[in-house]
Structure 1
Amino acid sequence: MLKLSLALTLTACAFLLLPLEKSSDAEPGKQAPQQTAINLTRLYNDTCAKCHGEQGEGGGAGTKTLLTLEKFGSQHDKLFFDAIKKGVPDMGMDAYGPTMNDETIWGLVVHLRELQNKYTEALVAGPKETEGVYTSQRAKFRLETVVEKGKGLAVPWGLDWLPDGKMLITNRPGALRLSQNGEVGPEITGIPATREIGQGGLMDVAVHPNYAKNGWVYLSLTDPSPTDPKAGMTKIVRGKLKIEGLTASWHSEQTIYQSKPETYSPSGAHFGSRIVFDKKGHVFFSHGERGSGEKAQDLTLPNGKIFRVNEDGSIPKDNPFTKDPNQLPAIWSWGHRNPQGLVMDLKGNLWDTEHGPRGGDELNVIQKGANYGWPLIATSINYNDSPLALPWPKEGQNFALPTLRWLPSTGACGLDVVQGSAFPEWKGDLVAGGLAGNGPVFRIRVQNGKVVEEEKLFWRQGRVRDVAVGPDGLVYVALNQPDKIIRLVPVK
């Protein structure tokens, strides 16, 4: 058992004896007691810092530092939680289950993780770089700029390739462009109207696996509301390109998925949206909950879902929610927050990465009909530093849990699987990007449903919008701030 000497005093947190959550026993017609406002930083400083230090450095009452890589591992999440809730009598630490609800106790664990990250981040900064060469756990590589800043990119969001090697790039404000050999063509004409609302706009681009035969290219975008100039919603379309060099026009457009007009929202948050083919005639795409977490638990609404449709937009008969006419038949999984990474691995498993609020970004294997719990469970806290939820289901709840959680947040965005001959040492591994902080890119190896390797390949290059493995097997990264495209090139 991990020995945590959190020598907290009951008098120091006497205010916690006030109601911490709404009562389920309120009399009919009477308002239940409201949750007491809790600021986790203040709570930690008032109760924990006297022994553990405001930064977790230890010292008071002989306590040891919590700022170690060993204690930062996710395997210790439950041990920290249990130590606070049940106490550690041998170390003189009281049990705080009687005075704190479970959500508050978990919030303190998240706060500890934030303190630990400030110390450990430099220790896990990624492979060592010497004269431009990065030496990772299994391969050496260098970073090479493919499209320079100032070449026509503005918040590049999605990447994919045509069979002739030309790269398609979406710009969130609404431009789709072709690129080859470092040059970027003019905006492709005729693409559907889109609206940049906060995080939304022109998002992913996905070239059909049989493009050489059918010519289809799929786009995800924020569709403008016809009645509200401030509102929009994620929409999926497909079309074809007439190409001359790096100049192209869009035609033959078809709508693959569109929400009902009454669901359109002016919120600038959480649109998703990635597009993936399973090469069995289906297309999957992700849809954020648009800042309305409760809607992720409603099967009559598109918010917070991953969808599966046939490539022409029709509904597969074996989708999990086709029997109830009130439920959306295109839904494949639900209870998501903002999935901005989606990929099918080499074994046919569907994976997503999605944002938590403050902490709790997730890597999930996506299963048919599964509920991923948002906002009823989360490994995060609220942005305002208050408790949110527990990371584990309560009795009677049946939620799919993440394969990997990032705590603090990495700002998960972009996900692909390594294939081809460029990086044989990484074949089958996932590569995932992040927007937060200094823009990390991770390599993740999963075996038998468990993460067996995770390393930060690099960071501090920019905010990572997409990570995509090209037809040459190289790992391409779309960066924002600065707006450019780079790639990882192997060094033998």
Structure 2
Amino acid sequence: MKTLKTIHAFILVFLVTSCSTKQKEFFTIESEGTKLKVETVTDSITIPFGMDFLPNGRLLVTDRAIGHMVVVNTATGEKELIQGVPPVVGQGDGGLLDILVHPDYKNNGWIYFSYSEGDTTSNTMVVERAKLDGLKLVQRERLFTALPYFKKPLHHGSRLVLKDGYLFIAMGEKTDLQDSAQTLGNHLGKVLRIFEDGRVPRDNPFVDTPDAKPEVWTYGHRNPNGLALNPATGDLWEHEHGPMGGDELNLIKPGLNYGWPVITYGLNYDSTKVGEGITEKEGMEQPVYYYKPSIAPSGMQFYSSDVIPMWKGNLFIGAMALKHLNRLVLENNKVIKEERLLTDKKWRVRSVKQGPDGFLYIGVDGGKILRIRPN
């Protein structure tokens, strides 16, 4: 009898394993003459805006518009909902935005996240941190609130980077307040720097400038949807949406003016000039690279693993309008090659993250999380 039960158990495990393997969707792509496998990790996450990995390999994902934070088992695809997430303004560009696991999470347990707060008549972007108690956020702390509040829930930007005890925050200019990006007295259209506990560093470039917001690190940005560190150099990079054309990739340096809306390579959506229609002006930075027509960039990741060796050091950006995964090869902080991957899938690639396994993970609007790995 025991032998029969053992055989039945073996058959059951075999069938379950076989079915799981068959259900795992995958296909292959080619880059630099090498075939890679793209496989589905999970689905049913509507707008996977932010992603980051816990030390145990589980993936935290924000579902932007509905304001859900989920943790994904990347081996099985199982998703679990995290409780204690604050209410969000899910209209327009708002909702639960970026998420970031502290590099020293094993010792301090902090998770950082941004979201839109308020209502459809007055809202803004805020940044908080919290800890996980099982599947519940606890010890929530407000670190930053972008000012001023504004009626339209648009252009929150909102990407987060931690570096050496500092938290960098990318904030959009709220679309109808374009000139705010050139004014130091607000947080709009800026990259901001605070300590990871919310305090303002005394060496920020405008901390002693009258009427300037002390958190400002750089200004003249439109709607940043990408912020990433190059692990090889420690440099901070940002990308932002242009209007009709003129998406920019920028190397971020303190105190600099990146030009919006005075200079741009894009046009207004009615095809008229933005301002004077100029692309250069003294005292304003040129982008390292720009896209025309727009790709609508979102998410950004430097790939640093040896698992896919021909990609090491490359920069990956999601593209939502031209629907692909954008790969850039950089040399001396200049783009020397661009490759567009997954163009046939017509996916709005929303987020990009390197996993602890060295694979590249992407989140696409409509629900899927996928990983790219050696074939």
Q: 1:207 aligns with which of 81, 84, 101?
A: 101
Q: Which residue of 2 aligns with 1:235?
A: 126
Q: Which residue of 2 aligns with 1:351?
A: 237
Q: Which residue of 1 aligns with 2:53?
A: 161
Contact 1:138 1:425 in 2 (8 A): no
Q: 1:177 aligns with which of 55, 70, 75?
A: 70
Letter paired with 1:446: L
Q: 2:246 aligns with which of 355, 360, 376?
A: 360
> 1: CA distance between counterparts of 2:284 and 2:94?
28
1:182 Cα deviation (Å)? 3.8
Q: 2:261 aligns with which of 368, 375, 380?
A: 375
1:391 Cα deviation (Å)? 5.0
1:390 Cα deviation (Å)? 3.8
1:103-122 residue pairs with structure 2 within 5 A?
A: none
SS in 2 for 1:380: coil
1:427 Cα deviation (Å)? 1.2
Q: Which residue of 1 aligns with 2:166?
A: 282
1:219 Cα deviation (Å)? 0.4
Contact 2:36 2:372 in 1 (8 A): yes
Contact 2:89 2:153 in 1 (8 A): no
SS in 2 for 1:177: strand
Letter paired with 1:230: T
1:447-462 residue pairs with structure 2 within 5 A?
A: 447-459=331-343, 460-462=345-347
1:154 Cα deviation (Å)? 2.1
Aligned residues: 344
5+ residue gaps in structure 2?
A: 1-25
SS in 1 for 2:106: helix
1:231 Cα deviation (Å)? 2.2
Question: CA offsets per residue over residues 362-419 of structure 1, 9 Å max, x none?
Answer: 111111111100000000111012122545323xx31111111010000010100101
The reply to whether residue 253 of structure 1 matches residue 140 of structure 2 is yes
Contact 1:139 1:423 in 2 (8 A): no
Q: Which residue of 1 aligns with 2:18?
A: none
Q: How much is the aligned-residue C-alpha RMSD, in angstroms?
A: 1.5
Letter paired with 1:251: V
Contact 2:173 2:181 in 1 (8 A): yes
> 1: CA distance between counterparts of 2:90 and 2:199?
28
Q: Which residue of 2 aligns with 1:89?
A: none
Q: 1:385 to 1:218 in 2, by over 3 A?
A: same
> 2: CA distance between counterparts of 1:136 and 1:183?
26
Q: Which residue of 2 aligns with 1:140?
A: 35
SS in 1 for 2:361: strand
Question: CA offsets per residue over residues 86-109 of structure 1, 9 Å max, x none?
Answer: xxxxxxxxxxxxxxxxxxxxxxxx
> 2: CA distance between counterparts of 1:282 and 1:192?
24
1:267 Cα deviation (Å)? 1.1
> 2: CA distance between counterparts of 1:374 and 1:359?
13
Identity of aligned residues (%): 36
1:75-90 residue pairs with structure 2 within 5 A?
A: none
Contact 1:467 1:478 in 2 (8 A): yes
Q: Which has the larger radius of gyration?
A: 1
Letter paired with 2:35: K
Question: CA offsets per residue over residues 105-148 of structure 1, 9 Å max, x none?
Answer: xxxxxxxxxxxxxxxxxxxxxxxxxx943221264312111113
Q: 1:392 to 1:384 in 2, by over 3 A?
A: closer
Letter paired with 2:60: L
1:177 Cα deviation (Å)? 0.7
SS in 2 for 1:419: coil
Question: CA offsets per residue over residues 429-468 of structure 1, 9 Å max, x none?
Answer: 110111103x111111221221112111222341111111
Letter paired with 1:241: L
1:16-415 residue pairs with structure 2 within 5 A?
A: 132-137=27-32, 139-148=34-43, 150=44, 153-172=45-64, 173-180=66-73, 181-224=75-118, 230-243=121-134, 248-260=135-147, 263-278=148-163, 280-291=164-175, 292-346=177-231, 347-388=233-274, 389-394=276-281, 397-415=282-300
SS in 2 for 1:385: coil
1:472 Cα deviation (Å)? 1.1
Q: 1:138 to 1:294 in 2, by over 3 A?
A: farther
* Structure with the higher fraction of residues in helix conformation: 1
1:235 Cα deviation (Å)? 0.5
1:208 Cα deviation (Å)? 0.2
Q: Which residue of 2 aligns with 1:443?
A: 327
Q: 1:297 to 1:146 in 2, by over 3 A?
A: same
TM-score by length of 2: 0.88
1:422 Cα deviation (Å)? 1.6
1:298 Cα deviation (Å)? 0.7
> 2: CA distance between counterparts of 1:189 and 1:462?
29
1:417-428 residue pairs with structure 2 within 5 A?
A: 417-428=302-313
Q: Which residue of 2 aligns with 1:62?
A: none
> 2: CA distance between counterparts of 1:309 and 1:486?
33
Contact 2:155 2:223 in 1 (8 A): yes
* Structure with the higher fraction of residues in strand conformation: 2
TM-score by length of 1: 0.68
Q: Which residue of 2 aligns with 1:432?
A: 317
Contact 2:27 2:39 in 1 (8 A): no
> 2: CA distance between counterparts of 1:168 and 1:364?
27
SS in 1 for 2:81: coil
> 2: CA distance between counterparts of 1:364 and 1:485?
27
